[in-house]
Structure 1
């Protein structure tokens, strides 16, 4: 069995792009870790065989299982590199005591675990953390607060802010992501399911459930029982609710952060938060590195990049190995099949370019001189659909948008054919001047790449909720509101012969919850109101999208 494990490990390392050298290790399963409230969490402890002296510890805190697929992919490869790894199941998962209420206990449990580890005879006091997605979040819940500080961290494909960046993106509930994840965590420990492997029937159940109203209890349809996260997500979505403050750590003192390495993808749903975190960390003087590839959340290429990065990062900070080479920022320029390196993000070597919405569906460098408006009506009874984009799982990335652009509730503005390649690298933002027939509405903006055959493929998008209880941009005397929409960042080449296109609509379902046009909480709403939009694009109301061109 030991020989089979070694061979399987070498095969896995080769597939992950890691050096195929294996350090023998010992594994203790189910190591109890006491929490201050009396709950005991369980962990698997990997330690190099024959090493008796105290060593640094790589802490990985994960809700998806400390053994099985996750143990083999995230802990064992590091153990084979000679690291001491402590992979802990978070509260209420896979043998750990208590109830799993995601994002609500990770700070207290994580800090208690760090304190306990430092008291063990086999720990030399140095602790690093690693991992992506939820176990990237568990790092953000600990790293700004640990005293003494951690040695280094590697929070990949995650964000310090889980509220405005993920759960309720600029005020709009991301129901497809939330329900997909609820289905996963709600069934992951059911008998007959393989740990770490998705149920192929789950996607169908989620798609059907998202079309139901009200949404409050659709978790039962996808998981067979109530899922605490979904109930929290639905119950705490209203403006002013402070419940999720405990999940957001972007307001922490970032000067207390240890060195940070982070990997993400242009089609990862966390990329906007990831890049915002990187910029904030560098502004706080924290040594940090960033890699952004052409990946969707959890794609094999993204996982390989994460593990390769972690092996070098941890070796440097824990073993005194060589520092990572190259510039601190490395991003993939899509459609150009090349990597770019920068000293900072956003890169300094860019210029702003504004593309103005124009009458008759144009996209121009200057706004229309005469008064002009475009109109559409959004109806929650037939919500505007969406395809592609940054998603939790496939299908995502780019998709053909033509069937959406043919709808009467989507405005389309198309630019001229490009004479030369246009490299858009950096943040993307839109300013839309609009008047709405009711005060509750959403504005969705999408930038697309139209090829010579007329196929329109999404590049980046963003959404902004209008709510009289929260919206800072109050309408003027004429009812027109200036609306800022933050789109996802990108590094993308629009090739010569292609055209840029901007969509403006009132939603993107089922990725986001449909706006029902009322103040009723989205989880209990069943009746909606149509919203008529007027989009202005003249010299006094210069609706435009702003890109950064390399």
Structure 2
């Protein structure tokens, strides 16, 4: 396993370990209050670990193989004993998995059990990415004093609320995740991964959507059915939202996010709540997607978590550290959103321009949207193929409008919340408005920065669609241009709007629509950027 240790160190950009020899005590039984037992593995440095700080990792993806290697081994090699536990209903743990709705009680019971173990010292740190970070928020306001720090990575306290918005339903993420959970324990699942990925991708086009789980996995998924049937505001999901616990968090928090991560808006909201409540917290956001192995979660568990676990203070740094894309440099700030950035409106113009000038009287721009040939997502927020990509192909489509500034004569730095106000009308009452911010370089190549979508009801009446894009930190360099795309979809990231108003799960009819975007003095469509102009040097 020494080779695996070296590979992980290189891939995750970790410091040298204290040891590469670890041992694993498998299948420890952790009792829950209802009699169900959850299984856990304890990873420790060979030669003794009693009294070392404990890193607790609660995981729905198994305890050995890939997840054990990347979550437990690096920490066990660098000063922790690590308890990695399978959540209810998976990989030998008892009970039935009801995603996210079970983690409060099971998490609290696990904390109580760990503290009572003879090998436990006097300190614990909660560590994990995505779902493994969400489970930390589920218990954050009821932590025992032995928990000295939390390190939630690419996650948030109301984990799936963003992609279940009634006015912007995601499709790709819930199906991919639901299919993963449904198939990950099947025989030879790892060797069938490529085939499963193809089946899942094909299932995204199935209608009605209530049949896509069977198309992807061969069986019904209650989770996928629930996502289709209940939007984020439905009482069905009341138990998954732990936003109300954030202000009462009882341990210092180091939160790590990515500019191209699906959970970024909620993660930034959680950090702002911690700051407003005066809680010890820091934030790091890099140029990462959700599954980027270079996200420094393990390194932060060592640098930040171990310091607190040993009764020390971590190395001093600014509360907020952001990777400013475009400049490709790390910058420190005192808060999120940072001060010194004022909203600037860039108005859509009749000639495809984008400028601070109020638009002249002009006819609206038009495009035809057909959900049977949906506007594709190109990079951006996706687990499997997200990030920054060339947008030339999607911008060449007839169902995408683009508006672009003249060549910038100075750098323009954008850091904070991005939004757009698009005066829009459709030939149908039901339509979506998708807006994407792009950077166009000297060669004319357009790369996506951030984006967002809103679904409209009553779209056949002229209305101002307010679209909240993903937050960002980006430097548009002198000589580049700022571009905004306007379209009516980003498939398969978002579910196709069929234009009929039918329920998402059962809709089968797809209606094409003629869309208009207005830009005149009475209807000043605009992109709104938090801007600080940086004089060119």
Asked if residue 492 in structure 1 is aligned to residue 474 in structure 2, the reply is yes
2:176 maps to 1:180: yes
Judged with a 3 Å threshold, the aligned counterparts in structure 2 of structure 1 residues 116 and 211 are, in CA distance, closer, same or farther, namely: same
Give the 3-state SS of the residue equivalent to 1:327 in structure 2: coil
3-state SS in 2 of match to 1:547:
strand
Q: What secondary structure sits across from 1:218 in the alignment?
A: helix
Indicate which of 154, 158, 163 corresponds to 2:155. Answer: 158
Contact persistence 2:122–2:146 (CA under 8 A): no
Shift of the alpha carbon at 1:48? 5.0
3-state secondary structure, aligned to 1:383: coil
Counterpart of 1:472 in structure 2 is none
Cα separation, partners in 2 of 1:186 and 1:332, compared to 1, 3 Å: same
The answer as to whether partners of 1:182 and 1:223 remain within 8 angstroms in 2 is no
Give the counterpart of 1:236 among 230, 233, 258. 230
**What is the alpha-carbon distance in structure 2 between the residues aligned to residue 52 and residue 543 of structure 1?**
62
Residue among 25, 40, 43 paired with 1:28: 25
Q: 1:216 aligns with which of 205, 210, 214?
A: 210
- Structure 1 position 8, deviation (Å): 4.6
The one of 530, 542, 547 equivalent to 2:512 is 530
- Distance in structure 1 (CA, Å) of the matches to 2:294 and 2:44: 28
1:404 aligns with 2:394: yes
Change (3 A) 1:135 1:538: same
1:276 paired residue number: 269
Deviation at 1:354, TM superposition (A): 1.3
Matches within 5 A, 1:292-307: 292-302=285-295, 305-307=296-298
Contact 1:255–1:285 (Cα < 8 Å) also in 2: no
Distance 2:400 2:333 in 1: 37
Name the SS for the 2:211 alignment partner.
coil
Q: Distance in 1 between the 2:50 and 2:128 partners?
A: 26
Are 2:382 and 1:391 equivalent residues in the alignment?
yes
When the two structures are superposed, what TM-score results if normalisation uses the length of structure 2? 0.92
Q: For each residue in 1:445-477, what CA deviation from the matched residue of structure 2 results, as whole angstroms up to 9, or x when unmatched?
A: 011112233222211100112236xxxxxx8xx
Shift of 1:108: 1.6
1:186 and 1:223 in contact (8 A); partners too: yes
Q: Secondary structure at the match of 2:466?
A: strand
In structure 1, distance between residues paired with 2:450 and 2:318: 25
The range that moved more, 307-316 or 53-62, is 53-62
SS in 1 for 2:380: coil
Q: Deviations over 1:184-232 (max 9, x none)?
A: 22221111234xx881223322221111211112222222322332122
Cα 1:170–1:429, aligned 2, differ >3 Å: closer, same or farther?
farther
TM-score (norm 1): 0.90
Report the Cα offset of residue 505 of structure 1. Answer: 1.2
User: Counterparts of 1:58-207 in structure 2 under 5 Å?
Assistant: 58-124=55-121, 126-146=123-143, 150-165=147-162, 167-169=163-165, 171-194=167-190, 199-207=193-201
Whether contact under 8 Å (1:127, 1:152) holds in the other structure is: yes
CA distance in 2: counterparts of 1:87 and 1:294, whole angstroms: 28
1:516 corresponds to which of 498, 515, 518:
498
Q: Deviations over 1:40-78 (max 9, x none)?
A: 100012345565865543211001111121112111221
The Cα shift of 1:513 comes to 0.4
Partners of 2:402 and 2:469 lie apart in 1 by: 17
Aligned counterpart, 2:346: 355
Shift of 1:25: 5.0
Q: Secondary structure at the match of 2:418?
A: strand
Distance change (3 Å), C-alpha of 1:493 and 1:127? same
Secondary structure, aligned partner of 1:216: helix
- Write out per-residue CA displacement over residues 331-377 of structure 1, whole angstroms, 9 at most, x where no aligned residue: 11212221111111111132322111111211110221425422233
Measure how far apart 1:164 and its partner are. Answer: 3.4
Aligned residues: 531
Q: How far apart, CA to CA, are the structure 2 residues paired with 1:420 and 1:515? A: 40
Matched ranges for 1:311-390 at <5 A: 311-370=302-361, 372-390=363-381
Structure 2 residue 248 is the aligned partner of structure 1 residue 255:
yes
1:9 alignment counterpart: 5
**C-alpha separation in 1, matches of 2:254 and 2:486:** 36
53-62 or 442-451: bigger deviation: 53-62
1: CA distance, partners of 2:367 / 2:235: 35
Q: Distance in 2 between matches of 1:29 and 1:99?
A: 21
RMSD between aligned residues: 2.4
Name the counterpart of 1:429.
419
* 1:124-174 residue CA offsets vs partner (Å, 9 max, x unmatched): 564321010110111111213435584211110011122432x32563221
- 2:483 paired residue among 501, 510, 522: 501
Distance 1:211 1:251 in 2: 37
Any gaps of 5 or more consecutive residues in structure 2?
533-537
